[in-house]
Amino acid sequence: MSLHLGDIIDGKYKILRLIGEGGMGVVYEGENVRIHRRVAIKILHTTVARSEDAVQRFEREAQAAGRIGSDHIVEVLDLGELPGGDRYMVMEFLEGQSLAERIETAGALSPQKSATIMVGMLEGLRAAHDAGIVHRDLKPDNVFLLNNRGGQADFVKILDFGISKFSKLGGEFSMTQTGAVMGTPYYLSPEQAKGERQVDALSDLYSAGVILWESVSGKVPFDGETFNELLFKIVLEPVPDLATLKPALDPHFISLVHKAMARDRQLRFQSAADMQAALLKWLDGQPLSSHVLADAQAARVTRPSVTSSSDLALGATATVQNTGGNWANTKVARGEGKSSKKWLAVAGLGLLTAAGVGMLVRSNAIDEERALVHARAEQQLAEKAAEERARQETERTRAETERAQAERARLEAEQHEAEAQLSAVEHARREAEQKKEASVAPAPRPRPAARPRPAAPATPAPRPATAAPTSAGRTIRTDL
């Protein structure tokens, strides 16, 4: 059925604009005209809607979202059928971008940002696993980052549970056939790549590790020129050391990524809650537990455990049969457009190689190597623990010395202050005594007045000289 802008579906959903279109169908922005709520409307193409498997996958997506009931899972509001036979699904309208778009536009993200996004994704994944639902197709395209939700930027929503596996409430249900594998090849777990039936929550955690790897590096850990080459790398090659590609990354963060991507299922995080707790611990700056570091170290070098060549060949065959088209679509989306027929042809030629490689893997040698790896990892952890204890002891001694010096300085300051106070008190006491002595001392005697001295007798004035009588006419001086 051809829809146009302004058309109303089931009398309540108005088509506003086209958001995107693909091989499976189209997605529109719409509005529930009854309650005036913005919604997203996904419609399967008529040709696809004729496929029973596609319809079941479509309906499973709606059922999974309803059963999980988490804020980190996209909410499905309605499901229905158009008059022309097209199936439609109504979901909450999301404003933001996918993690794949973020990486493509912004490049590699910081470990802190990647870990924060992963914590939100694992919250939704934990709810799904608790409900008995395994996503099985986790990838950056299915991790949507809302612009804002309750004041939180980059709020995570997980999309597309269309190929999810249900294992509770009515028995196990798988959308794929026995031995078949579905999912985007770059993010497949080793058990998915081999076509094993044991695809459970631990497979989702492996895919989460691949997403973390790509978020901080901008690349996927495994790639290949052919579909079959990619599968063999996932199944047979050790996980590349992220430190080689990004040497500046925190080694503990790298350990978290490698533990999530461990080929040995027992070395991975055993639940979404465990992985989420480890990431939160790292974000808080707390040291990781020794077993996390040991498992990560072992995961880097553990060789694959393939019991027989037929297992790998069967897995490759099932994967080729069920994901050849998906692989081709993925390569086209990444700008490497090559037809799915070429991948199928080359994959068929690789089956003999798979058989030959499987024959070379011996389980006993793997067990011995794994034990050796664990022993080396434990020795390294013990050495690091001893170094850490020595460092902590040195830090403790230094801290105690600094505290002792600070205490001595404080006591000296208090002593100086006490001496100053004592000196001030002594000075005040002396001043008080001086004032007291001054107040009780006798008044000084007044000096007697000086008696006037008698005046000196006046010196008689010299008498004038008189001439002595002369005789015979001579004058005699008498003043001699």
Give the residue numbers annotated as catalytic, written as ranges.
137
Give the H/E segment covering residue 126: helix 111-130
State in Å, rounded, how far the first CA of the chain is from the last one.
Answer: 177
> 13 and 90 in contact (C-beta within 8 Å)?
yes
Tokens of 34: 């009854």
| Whether the Cβ atoms of residue 261 and residue 221 lie closer than 8 Å to each other | yes
Distance CA 343, CA 330 (A): 12
Query: In the block, which residue shows the tokens 């690091």?
Result: 384
Is residue 145 within 8 A of residue 98, CB to CB? The reply is yes
**Contacts for 393 with CB less than 8 Å, ≥ 6 apart:** none
Count of Cβ atoms closer than 10 Å to residue 458 Cβ: 6
468 — phi, psi (to 5°)?
-75, 150
Which residues share a beta bridge with 73? 158
Strands (E), 23-127: 25-32, 37-44, 76-81, 87-92, 96-98
DSSP 412-462: HHHHHHHHHHHHHHHHHHHHHHHHHHHHHSPPPPPPPPPPPPPPPPPPPPP
Bridge partners (DSSP) of residue 80 are 88
Kindly list the strands in the beta sheet with 143-146, ordered across the sheet, starting from the edge strand earlier in the chain: 96-98, 143-146, 155-158
Helix, strand, coil percentages (3-state) for the chain, rounded to 5, are 50, 15, 35
In total, the chain counts a number of residues equal to 480
How far apart, in whole angstroms, are the C-alpha atoms of residue 157 and residue 154? 9
Chain-centroid distance of CA 63 in Å reads 32
- SS3 at position 264: coil
Contacts of 98 (CB under 8 A, 6+ apart): 140, 141, 142, 143, 144, 145, 159
